[in-house]
């Protein structure tokens, strides 16, 4: 249901993983000063919203999103292919009326 990770790498690791090392740009993106960003990196503590923003900009977060998209698309493609070869009466998966898959099963 929720895509928010329960465990994330330390702030310093996330900062090292960003495509830019420009602390001024990163701080501006997060809406904080460079000193605050440096303090977070040194202590390893950052507010949860900032930590999550860094996570989703890192390779870890992007990889998680890519996997989710791949899995969702693979599942939906399988459902569509199943629907193309079976009628709705034999279709064990329930599709919302009006969805493209439902219309495919009806044909």
Between the alpha carbon of residue 78 and those of residues 18, 44, 89, 101, the distances in Å are 35, 43, 18, 10
pLDDT tens-digit readout, 17-74: 998 889 999 999 999 999 999 999 999 889 999 999 999 899 888 887 788 888 888 8
pLDDT tens-digit readout, 85-104: 655 455 555 555 555 544 44
User: How far apart are the C-alpha atoms of 45 and 36, rounded to whole Å?
Assistant: 11
Does the reported pTM lie above 0.75? no
Q: 19 in helix, strand or coil? A: coil
pLDDT of residue 5: 81
pLDDT of residue 101: 47
pLDDT of residue 54: 93
Which is higher by pLDDT, 75 or 39?
A: 39
Nearest to 45 by CA among 37, 57, 35, 53: 37
Confidence of residue 7 (pLDDT cuts 50, 70, 90): confident
Q: Any idea where the domains of the chain sit in the sequence?
A: 1-57, 73-107
pLDDT of residue 65: 79
């Amino acid at each position: 249901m929720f895509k928010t990770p329960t465990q994330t790498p330390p702030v310093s690791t996330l900062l090292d993983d960003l495509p830019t090392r420009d602390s001024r740009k990163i701080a501006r993106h997060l809406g904080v000063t460079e000193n605050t960003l440096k303090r977070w990196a040194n202590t390893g503590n950052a507010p949860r919203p900032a930590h999550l923003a860094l996570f989703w900009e890192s390779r870890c977060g992007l990889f998680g999103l890519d996997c989710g998209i791949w899995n969702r698309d693979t599942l939906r493609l399988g459902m569509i292919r199943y629907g193309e070869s079976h009628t709705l009466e034999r279709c064990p998966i329930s599709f919302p009326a009006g969805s493209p898959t439902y219309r495919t099963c009806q044909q």
